Amino acid sequence: MTLYIRTSIIIPTRNNEGTIFSTLKSVFDEIQANDEVIVVLNGSTDNTETIINQFSNDSRLKIIFSEPGRSRARNSGLHIAGGEFINFLDSDDEFIKGHVSRATNFLDNNPSYFAFADESLICQRDNKTKISIPYTDQINVHDLINTNIFEIASVVFRNRHIVYFLDSLEFNEDHIFWIENLLHKKVYFQKQVGSQKKITGQNTMLNYRSEMIGTRIVISAILQRDYGIIVEPNFFKTSWNIIKFLKCKAHLHQDLRALLYSEYKYQYLFASVLIHLPIFKFLIANRLKNHG
């Protein structure tokens, strides 16, 4: 007999000893007896695993390991997730009471909806707070074409025919995941806070701005390849965006280079020539430093 699991909470973590306890406490204070918590350790070298083991007496906790990389970790969690619904949570995020139950109850009562999303609170280091992405009456899932409208912890979705994360992508990976899984699905937007993120200095946008900017062109390539949506028709702007990709670490992944080449062959070739011309090297470095 297979035990029914209602919601799978997937938490990737790497060297988060300062926040993982409060993250897990917020989850176990929130979930029900038939939920599961999948914590994916992906290369921690600090006391993160020791802190997680403080919750090991709770049968709802599953601890697994993956190769380094947030996308690989989330995919490992997805692979074993048995819940009817799925909710991701980063290890510096916390649930606010009622988030999971509101989402799953709504989806139970509205079977035509694939996902439920609520708002997320950003807690600054000076104790100031703000709503990360305020939901208005005008917000629509098709806004994903231009910007990411979901914090990773905000969305609870049905565990059906999920397109996995790109293993090799560590930045903007969640934006692409939402495009692949929600763009043509019905999503309910709740104007109520359901999670919070603490700004610790380890958050992606603070430390890796160049990687976030450099990998935006991957989003455009997937929109063009999979949906026939051309985000930027200008040859030179696309070439400049490819230069930004080629100057960040993501360019080391052959599958991402192949994707951009297949969608933007001539812009890719043009950008590849420019970055190796001595006369342009200084200009490119200066522009990237000042403008991104």
Q: How many residues does the chain have?
A: 292
Q: What pLDDT, on the 0 to 100 scale, is given for residue 166? A: 94
288 falls in which pLDDT band (50, 70, 90)?
Answer: low
Strand-pair category, 129-131 with 93-95: unpaired
b or e along 174-208 (b: 16 or more beta carbons within 10 Å of the residue's beta carbon)? bbbbbbbbbbeeebbbbeebbbbbbeeeeebeeeb
Contacts for 131 with CB less than 8 Å, ≥ 6 apart: 119, 120, 121, 122, 193
Q: What pLDDT, on the 0 to 100 scale, is given for residue 251? A: 87
17 falls in which pLDDT band (50, 70, 90)?
Answer: confident
Helix (H, G, I), strand (E, B) or coil at 213: helix
Q: What pLDDT, on the 0 to 100 scale, is given for residue 286? A: 62
Task: Write the pLDDT tens digit of every residue in 172-205.
Answer: 999 999 999 999 999 999 999 999 988 765 555 5
Better-scored residue on pLDDT, 29 or 280: 29
Strand-pair category, 129-131 with 115-123: antiparallel
Strand-pair category, 61-65 with 115-123: unpaired
Q: What pLDDT, on the 0 to 100 scale, is given for residue 124? A: 77
Strand-pair category, 93-95 with 61-65: unpaired
Contacts for 200 with CB less than 8 Å, ≥ 6 apart: 18, 19, 92, 125
Task: Write the pLDDT tens digit of every residue in 39-61.
Answer: 999 988 889 999 999 999 999 99
Written as one string, the DSSP assignment of 178-189 is: HHHHHTTS-EEE
Residue 240's alpha-carbon distances to 170, 216, 218, 246, 284, in angstroms, are 21, 12, 13, 10, 9
Instruction: Report the distance separating Cα 121 and Cα 193, nearest Å.
Output: 6
Q: What pLDDT, on the 0 to 100 scale, is given for residue 200? A: 67
pLDDT at residue 159 is higher than 70: yes
The mean pLDDT of the chain is 90
Instruction: Report the distance separating Cα 265 and Cα 278, nearest Å.
Output: 23
DSSP conformational letter for 8: E
Are 253 and 168 in contact, with CB atoms under 8 Å apart?
yes
Q: What pLDDT, on the 0 to 100 scale, is given for residue 290? A: 58
Class level of CATH domain 7-204: alpha beta
Domain ranges of the chain: 7-204, 208-290
Q: What pLDDT, on the 0 to 100 scale, is given for residue 250? A: 87
Ranges 120-129, 154-163, 243-252, 280-289: which has the least confidence: 280-289
Task: Write the pLDDT tens digit of every residue in 18-30.
Answer: 899 999 999 999 9
* Across 66-72, average pLDDT: 90
Task: Write the pLDDT tens digit of every residue in 234-269.
Answer: 999 999 999 999 988 888 899 999 999 999 999 999
Q: How large is the C-alpha radius of gyration of the chain?
A: 20
* Across 155-162, average pLDDT: 97
- pTM, two decimal places: 0.91
Instruction: Report the distance separating Cα 92 and Cα 19, nearest Å.
Output: 5
